[in-house]
Amino acid sequence: MGSWPKAAKVAMAAIVSIAVGIGSYMFFVSSEVEALENAELQEIQLKNNYRIKYGAAVNLDSYKKQMVDMEEKFSLLLKRLPTSHETPGLLDDITYVGTTSGLSFIKINWLPELEKQFYTELPIQIEVIGDYHEFGQFVSQVAALPRIVTLHDFSINEADGDKLRLNVVAKTYRYKETEK
């Protein structure tokens, strides 16, 4: 190398320097760069988690208030569900509402109960005779009952004279107590 021309010595020195630089980078720096990139990624994830948790913490009081409100509403709805010994009174209420609306009852019968996950569905088959406006008044008054009653499967057909026949299934619900 001592007898090499100056340009070859410079080129060789440059090649050796580049090789040493690349080797040093690969050996010492690349693992540190990778660790830095992982740390930056973790920082982003932690910041996102922090923002989410901070948002929840800031709104915690309103969430607690919403939860209390929802529990109160749920409690009120549960109170509107009849117990098993209140269901005959519901038939009386429906009959009273129908007769005060001007309807004539042909049939009102309990259908088999349907067990659901959190409640029991209690369907009632109702068949009445009246006119269209009496049906509307009946439906409105059933909706105003203190218990939860929903009406399903309507059918209106002609009856004698100018009267109509309404077949409907009314459903009320009973809360199913969960065993503890």
Give residue-wise pLDDT tens across range 84-103: 656 778 888 999 999 999 99
* Residue 69 is assigned to a structural domain of this protein: no
Residue by residue, DSSP assigns 57-99 as HHTHHHHHHHHHHHHHHHHHHHHHSPPGGGHHHHHHHHHHHHH
Q: Which two tokens stand for residue 46?
A: 């932690």
Residues 21-42 pLDDT 10s: 888 878 777 788 888 899 999 9
**Residue-number span of the structural domain to which 14 is assigned:** 6-58
- Mean model confidence pLDDT for the chain: 86
Full-model pTM: 0.56
CA distance 126 to 138: 12
Same domain, 93 and 163: yes
The number of folded domains in the chain is 2
Same domain, 44 and 85: no
Same domain, 85 and 50: no
Residue 175 — very low, low, confident or very high, per pLDDT cuts 50/70/90? confident
Same domain, 48 and 129: no
